Amino acid sequence: MKKYDYLIVGAGLFGAVFAHEMTKEGKKCLVIDKRDHIAGNIYCENVEGINVHKYGAHIFHTSDKVVWEYINQFAEFNNYINSPVARYKDELYNLPFNMNTFSKMFGIKTPAEAKAKIQEEIEELGITEPKNLEEQALSLAGRSVYEKLVKGYTEKQWGRDCKDLPAFIIKRLPLRFIYDNNYFNDRFQGIPMGGYTAIVEKMLEGSDVLLNTDYYEFRKENADIAEKTVYTGMLDKYFDYKYGVLEYRSVRFETETLDMDNYQGNAVVNYTEREVPYTRIIEHKHFEYGTQPKTVISREYPSEWKLGEEPYYPVNNEKNEEVAGKYRELADKEENVIFGGRLGEYRYYDMDKVIAAALKAVEKEKNN
């Protein structure tokens, strides 16, 4: 008899949902994580009474009613609506691109005026077959929106000039002709009151949890500890990088506590000029309408990624997709191992998609 039904590698959202559901089924789960905390990338650190999103700002949004009801079992959500502001030199614009943005940019009032202005700029450029990202964005939104709000931000994100980036990166540039600053189009949105870590803590009730425990070390001595393994670590690492290393894009956070109650008046401010080295400043307290006397801000610097550093965004270009496909084939054949989550599948997943994927994996297991 093995000691556990499941060894779950990774105490992030995927692992926690899986553990919670299987514990309810009467299974015994051991969850391990190499970090010194649970919750993976949605972990929040309490600083000055403020939930600081340590691995980047996380806003829950979904149109999936089942997932929304699922997550609401574990927390009440506040009514936070993501409405970022863009700062270009000394000008401030609302995002996403909407009538508030156009009104400020062009001094117009009506949707018809905004459409005419943008159309005029697009026609002036006369780009018929965009050869690169710059031409693509110009042909979709005109010169003003591109130069003030797209160019610098995108170049910082990718570490390259827009002229040297492929056009397909930007398929659409949604322009919204209503006065509406809600960034997401989803039906449900908010921030969990009490933070994300508390949700994961609840999900892991009834499971055994070991932190500071790396799977590759742990399995040397504990190969037979569980019937099955749920693996949410890096897909390529599991197979010892035999087809090569899957690439990620990284981001560095510079977090600072300030002796003032309100630094920028909004949770998210994007810096869209190239000369400012960071892409965004997050002021964490505004996600929860905090009234603490101090405030905590994080500057985000996109950066190259090297093996061994924290992996953030999978680079879904052709080369990586081909390699990931080969690893996924191996993963499918691996007996008694379930691969899941953003690293285990090498996919960018928002939180709602991770929950849906974990619930699907649970259903598959139950029917096995």
Query: What is the set of active-site residues?
Result: 172, 176, 249, 280, 300, 348, 350
Owner of token pair 């500071």: 212
Whole-angstrom CA distances from 206 to 22, 29, 236, 301, 303 are 10, 8, 31, 39, 39
Per the structure block, which two tokens stand in for 79?
């009514």
User: Exactly one of 7, 22, 59, 95 binds ligand FAD (CB under 6 A); which one?
Assistant: 59
User: Exactly one of 93, 153, 312, 339 binds ligand FAD (CB under 6 A); which one?
Assistant: 312
**Count of C-beta atoms within a 10 Å radius of residue 223:** 9
The reply on whether position 299 binds ligand FAD by CB under 6 A is no
Q: Which residues of 21-60 are buried (b: 16+ CB within 10 A; e: fewer)?
A: bbbeeebbbbbbbbbeebbbbbbbbebbebbbbbbebbbb
The reply on whether position 256 binds ligand FAD by CB under 6 A is no
337 class by beta-carbon count within 10 Å (0-12 exposed, 13-18 middle, 19+ buried): middle
Query: Is residue 49 a contact partner of residue 337, using CB atoms and an 8 Å limit?
Result: no
User: Exactly one of 233, 290, 302, 314 binds ligand FAD (CB under 6 A); which one?
Assistant: 233
Q: Which range in 36-44, 140-148, 176-184, 268-276 contacts ligand FAD by CB under 6 A?
A: 36-44
User: Exactly one of 214, 304, 309, 363 binds ligand FAD (CB under 6 A); which one?
Assistant: 214
Q: What angle do CA 201, 204, 210 make, to 5 degrees?
A: 95
Question: Is the CB of 93 or the CB of 312 nearer to ligand FAD?
Answer: 312
> Total number of residues binding ligand FAD (CB under 6 A)?
35
Per the structure block, which two tokens stand in for 159?
């570490």
The reply on whether position 196 binds ligand FAD by CB under 6 A is no
Contacting ligand FAD within 154-183 (CB under 6 A): none
User: Residue 153 and residue 143: Cα distance in Å, rounded?
Assistant: 15
Query: Is residue 147 a contact partner of residue 66, using CB atoms and an 8 Å limit?
Result: no
The reply on whether position 216 binds ligand FAD by CB under 6 A is yes
User: Residue 242 and residue 238: Cα distance in Å, rounded?
Assistant: 9
The reply on whether position 186 binds ligand FAD by CB under 6 A is no
Smallest separation, CB 218 to ligand FAD (Å): 7
The reply on whether position 197 binds ligand FAD by CB under 6 A is no
Question: Is the CB of 82 or the CB of 94 nearer to ligand FAD?
Answer: 82
Smallest separation, CB 224 to ligand FAD (Å): 18
User: Exactly one of 33, 247, 283, 288 binds ligand FAD (CB under 6 A); which one?
Assistant: 33
The reply on whether position 84 binds ligand FAD by CB under 6 A is no
Smallest separation, CB 270 to ligand FAD (Å): 14
Smallest separation, CB 291 to ligand FAD (Å): 23
The reply on whether position 349 binds ligand FAD by CB under 6 A is yes
User: Residue 85 and residue 71: Cα distance in Å, rounded?
Assistant: 28
Smallest separation, CB 114 to ligand FAD (Å): 28
The string of DSSP codes covering 314-357 is E--SHHHHHHHHHHHHHHHHSTTEEE-HHHHTT----HHHHHHH
| Total residues found in the chain within this entry | 368
Q: Which range in 102-110, 115-123, 169-177, 347-355 contacts ligand FAD by CB under 6 A?
A: 347-355
Smallest separation, CB 154 to ligand FAD (Å): 16
The reply on whether position 289 binds ligand FAD by CB under 6 A is no
Smallest separation, CB 358 to ligand FAD (Å): 8
> Closest Cα partner for 351 from 96, 54, 39?
39
Residues that bind ligand FAD (CB under 6 A): 9-15, 32-35, 40-42, 56-60, 214-216, 232-233, 251, 312-313, 341-343, 349-352, 354
